[in-house]
């Protein structure tokens, strides 16, 4: 079966982390369902998820069908899942919650897909009293029902006093006691939550979010006035809100910090939260700052297999591959590009971004940021020239759609001056100091300008935007 690569990566990541694929968790991770709306549904404040799902129901259904089909194709087994309301202190769960009025969507969301060897067997699984108790404790913890958790945990102590997870269940029940309690020492509360999180994810699976999210939000409120410190980067409101998966709140917390772009941890949190909100330009702003401030960290984050933003990861791989193609045998003919050059390369690859990302995004005078500004001015100049000669709509559209395949620019219905000035060769900067006179990224991915064939007016335009290198540095290369 065929499946979108980004969708497959999301499913594979969830299976790797949790050992199963849960469609409801997928909706939360992909931004189709906001966690606040999910909690309202679990408290019966919302009748069904139909009211709060983001996007077209038909597209959501098609995406879930593709995801569940892929899960079956890799050997996972569908098991039904029932959701009950969170009722404090209740022993009886009451009637199951209504997922959707659409029967097909109800079935798709109300299932989970697990490996065949872990799928429940009726005679070996449900009749085991220890398993029944541990499953009951998991449900009570995720429902934040302390009374029922205590009752079942006491029974587990009596029935299986040597059970391996008793201490972990005790810690998680202690976490319930932290709910709705003032936080006197945020640092101590942070250490406590970081300590219980691995056990919560191991024992509760994707439902660990139900237990931990309100605790992280409480900590975020306690840290509301705490300024960011590079010595303790996690002791900040943005970190707590990322753990709670409150993406709008995390973005706001980062942007409230003065000069947030100077701090890599804040940039990474903004990139992650913007991705889940489907705000690509905001995510790219954050990634660009990471690339400029800490190229090695940027490369490590973009190379990470668990990077949720598969779109930026794919572009990063293409950037790395393009550099390797230009250095066959490992011998670099030109200065090697690093992660710091990725923003300029991406802007050149997608010139339409210059309308979403300002030239003032680069705030320092590093070579990489100067390259970004150079490429930005270069694209602006070309688009303005096309607009002034033949009309804005047609040529801006044509110039922006042809960058991916530079040779197409040769066939634009533009004046002979432009056609004759575009060459499909690339220059060889003699020294590192000259590499950005005509940006190396531009030289590697677009046609270069032949100085001897550019008119005086073009020389003036390109000189103004800082992209015309001396004539003696640009040589036309002819290919057989």
Q: What is the DSSP string of 348-394?
A: HHSGGGGGTS-GGG--S--HHHHHHHHHHHHHHHHHHHHHHHH-HHH
Q: With beta carbons less than 8 A apart as the criterion, state whether 228 and 266 touch.
A: yes
Mean pLDDT for the stretch of residues 230-248: 93
Instruction: Please provide the average confidence, as pLDDT, over all residues in the chain.
Output: 76
Mean pLDDT for the stretch of residues 58-62: 90
Confidence of residue 325 (pLDDT cuts 50, 70, 90): low
Report d(CA 250, CA 247) in Å as an integer: 5
Instruction: Return the pLDDT at 337.
Output: 80
349: phi > 0 → left, psi -120 to 50 → alpha, else beta; which?
Answer: alpha
pLDDT of 351 > 50? The answer is: yes
Instruction: Return the pLDDT at 334.
Output: 54
Cα Rg, the chain, nearest whole Å: 28
Could you tell me the two tokens for 322? 């393009």
Q: With beta carbons less than 8 A apart as the criterion, state whether 340 and 292 touch.
A: yes
pLDDT of 204 > 80? The answer is: yes
Could you tell me the two tokens for 287? 């990634």
Name which of 440, 271, 443, 446 is nearest 340 in CA terms. Answer: 440
DSSP conformational letter for 184: S
pLDDT of 232 > 90? The answer is: yes
Instruction: Return the pLDDT at 387.
Output: 60
Give the orientation angle of helix 186-204 with respect to helix 129-142, to 10 degrees.
140
Q: What is the pLDDT of residues 141-162, one digit of tens each?
A: 988 888 889 999 999 998 888 8
Report d(CA 316, CA 330) in Å as an integer: 19
Instruction: Return the pLDDT at 422.
Output: 31
Residues 6+ apart with CB under 8 A from 257: 227, 228, 236, 238, 263, 266
- Say how many Å lie between the first and final Cα of the chain, rounded: 43
* SS3 readout for 320-342: HHHHHHCCHHHCCCCCCCCHHHH
Lowest mean pLDDT: which of 98-107, 109-118, 463-472? 463-472
Mean pLDDT for the stretch of residues 79-91: 74
Q: With beta carbons less than 8 A apart as the criterion, state whether 222 and 229 touch.
A: no
pLDDT of 221 > 80? The answer is: yes
Q: Provide the b/e sequence for 212-229 (b: ≥16 CB within 10 Å).
A: bbbbbbbbbebbeeeebe
Instruction: Return the pLDDT at 212.
Output: 93
pLDDT of 333 > 90? The answer is: no
Query: Count of CB atoms within 10 A of residue 182's CB?
Result: 7
pLDDT of 380 > 90? The answer is: no
pTM more than 0.75:
no
Report d(CA 440, CA 375) in Å as an integer: 10
Q: Is 91 exposed, middle or buried (0-12, 13-18, 19+ CB in 10 A)?
A: exposed
pLDDT of 460 > 90? The answer is: no
| Share above pLDDT 70 across residues of the chain, in percent, rounded to a whole number | 73
Instruction: Return the pLDDT at 439.
Output: 41
Report d(CA 147, CA 82) in Å as an integer: 21
Instruction: Return the pLDDT at 385.
Output: 65
Mean pLDDT for the stretch of residues 297-304: 93
């Amino acid at each position: 079966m065929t499946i979108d690569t980004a969708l497959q990566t999301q499913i594979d990541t969830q299976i790797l982390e949790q050992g199963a694929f849960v469609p409801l968790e997928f909706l939360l991770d992909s931004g189709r369902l906001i966690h606040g709306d999910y909690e309202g549904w679990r408290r019966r404040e919302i009748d069904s998820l139909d009211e709060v799902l983001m996007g077209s129901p038909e597209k959501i259904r098609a995406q879930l069908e593709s995801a569940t089909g892929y899960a079956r194709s890799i050997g996972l087994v569908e098991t039904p899942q029932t959701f009950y309301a969170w009722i404090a202190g209740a022993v009886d769960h009451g009637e199951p919650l209504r997922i959707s009025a659409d029967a097909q969507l109800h079935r798709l969301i109300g299932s989970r897909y697990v490996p065949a060897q872990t799928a429940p067997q009726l005679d070996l699984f449900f009749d085991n009293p220890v398993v029944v108790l541990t499953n009951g404790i998991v449900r009570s913890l995720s429902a934040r029902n302390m009374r029922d958790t205590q009752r079942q945990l006491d029974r587990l102590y009596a029935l299986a006093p040597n059970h391996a997870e008793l201490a972990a269940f005790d810690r998680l029940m202690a976490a319930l006691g932290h709910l709705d309690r003032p936080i006197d020492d945020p640092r101590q509360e942070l250490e406590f939550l970081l300590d219980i999180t691995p056990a919560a994810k191991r024992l509760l699976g994707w439902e660990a979010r139900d237990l931990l999210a309100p605790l992280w939000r409480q900590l975020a409120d306690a840290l509301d006035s705490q300024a960011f410190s590079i010595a303790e980067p996690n002791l900040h409101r943005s970190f707590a809100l990322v753990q709670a998966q409150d993406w709008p709140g995390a973005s706001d917390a980062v942007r409230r910090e003065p000069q947030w772009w100077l701090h890599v941890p804040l940039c990474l949190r903004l990139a992650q939260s913007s991705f889940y909100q489907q705000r690509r330009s905001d995510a790219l702003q954050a990634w660009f700052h990471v690339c400029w401030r800490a190229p090695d960290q940027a490369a490590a984050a973009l190379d990470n297999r668990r990077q949720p933003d598969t779109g930026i990861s794919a572009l990063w791989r293409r950037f790395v591959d393009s550099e390797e193609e230009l250095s066959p045998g490992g011998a670099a003919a030109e200065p090697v590009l690093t992660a710091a050059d990725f923003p300029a390369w991406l802007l050149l690859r997608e010139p339409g971004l210059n309308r979403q990302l300002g030239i003032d995004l680069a705030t320092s005078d590093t070579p990489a940021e100067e390259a970004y500004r150079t490429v930005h001015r270069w694209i602006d100049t070309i688009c303005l020239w096309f607009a002034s000669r033949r009309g804005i709509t047609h040529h801006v559209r044509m110039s922006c759609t042809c960058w991916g395949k530079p040779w197409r620019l040769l066939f634009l219905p533009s004046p002979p001056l432009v056609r004759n000035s575009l060459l499909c060769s690339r220059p060889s900067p003699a020294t590192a100091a000259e590499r950005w006179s005509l940006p190396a990224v531009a030289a590697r991915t677009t046609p270069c300008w032949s100085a001897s064939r550019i008119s005086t007016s073009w020389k003036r335009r390109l000189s103004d935007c800082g992209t015309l290198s001396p004539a003696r540095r640009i040589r036309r290369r002819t290919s057989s």
